[in-house]
């Protein structure tokens, strides 16, 4: 596993974004782990988060694209932080863009904020965690209605590696439905591999008991 992936896992713990215990997901699944990206709350945290995204994007997609698009609302700060990190780390000036939830009819008008989009723009999408594709269903028609852009892919922070609406993972379903590549900074398999029976800050985050619960969760909801 790359060093920056290990650092990112520990960074999530430090920010209380990655938590272990008893949780219920939006889909009603009882889960022993939870990723709450709402706990990235400070400027320094967003700066580091943008750097992890930038590293992943450079490795997976390269930097030959025009716009980083973050669906409202959580995708807005992600697109800003990551384009700033790309500029600082790689000297590449990428534009950011997001959609509004409603059309603005005065001042900076329209459904988009940030950079306008044009035909043939190469666009990369950025989100927080693996989704069931709901935001893609909502925002891609809006984006496509503005210009005939070229969608290159989607990057998220964590791949939960569980089934979406069918038998495949949510990321795999998105890739199959829309025909573009998907990737994550880390997968839950990498999280477990890095933390199982290995102390971090003097505490074992995933002991044998929690590992058993995680395994049981994936037996029920994991990708077949």
Q: What are the catalytic residues?
A: 104, 106
Distance in angstroms (rounded) separating the CA atoms of residues 37 and 42: 12
Q: Are 12 and 167 in contact (CB under 8 A)?
A: no
Token code pair at residue 182: 């998907």
Q: Which residues, 6+ apart, have CB-to-CB distance to 11 below 8 Å?
A: 48, 49, 52
What distance lies between CA 203 and its chain's CA centroid? 27
Angle, in degrees to the nearest 10, between helices 43-60 and 3-14: 150
Distance in angstroms (rounded) separating the CA atoms of residues 211 and 32: 9
Beta strands in the chain (DSSP E): 18-24, 30-35, 67-69, 95-104, 110-114, 122-126, 150-159, 181-187, 199-200, 203-204
Q: Are 117 and 147 in contact (CB under 8 A)?
A: yes
Distance in angstroms (rounded) separating the CA atoms of residues 97 and 118: 12
């Amino acid at each position: 596993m790359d060093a920056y992936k290990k650092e990112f896992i520990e960074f999530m713990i430090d920010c209380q974004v990655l938590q272990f215990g008893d949780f219920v997901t939006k889909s009603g699944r009882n889960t022993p782990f939870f990723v709450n990206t709402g706990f990235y709350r400070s400027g320094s945290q967003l700066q580091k988060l943008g750097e992890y995204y930038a590293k992943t994007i450079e490795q997976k997609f390269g930097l030959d694209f025009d716009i980083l698009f973050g669906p409202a609302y959580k995708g807005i700060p992600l697109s800003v932080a990551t384009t700033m990190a790309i500029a600082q780390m790689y000297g590449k000036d990428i534009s950011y863009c997001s959609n509004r939830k409603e059309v603005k009819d005065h001042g900076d008008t329209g459904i988009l904020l940030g950079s306008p989009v044009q035909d043939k723009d190469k666009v990369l999408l950025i989100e927080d965690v693996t989704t069931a594709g709901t935001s893609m269903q909502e925002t891609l028609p809006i984006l496509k209605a503005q210009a005939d852009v070229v969608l290159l892919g989607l990057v998220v922070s964590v791949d939960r590696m569980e089934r979406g609406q069918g038998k495949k993972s949510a990321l795999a379903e998105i890739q199959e439905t829309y025909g573009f590549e998907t990737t994550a900074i880390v997968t839950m398999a990498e999280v477990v591999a890095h933390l199982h029976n290995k102390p971090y800050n003097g505490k074992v985050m995933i002991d044998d008991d929690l590992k058993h619960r995680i395994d049981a969760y994936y037996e029920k909801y994991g990708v077949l």
